[in-house]
Amino acid sequence: MTGQEVDALLARVDELETRLAFQDDTIQSLNDALGQQQIALDRVERSLQLIAKRQSDIASLMPGDSIDENQPPPHY
């Protein structure tokens, strides 16, 4: 193998190592962002469950006609 071939191979290895380092950094950044998104999603889900429970509790306290799904609406 000549000196030029060795230099060309070393240049390719350097390029590949550089690409790998950037890819590792990108993967870590994406993983961090995904973790933050999962935390935010968990918070939103808990909030939605709490709101749904509160709405259900309030609806059960309100007087009103109970709707019988087997009966047609009054305009029939």
Can you give the pTM of this predicted structure?
A: 0.61
What digits encode the pLDDT tens for the residues 12-40?
999 999 999 999 999 999 999 999 999 99
Q: What is the amino acid identity at position 23? A: Q
Which residue reads 């019988």 in tokens? 68
Report pLDDT for 63: 80
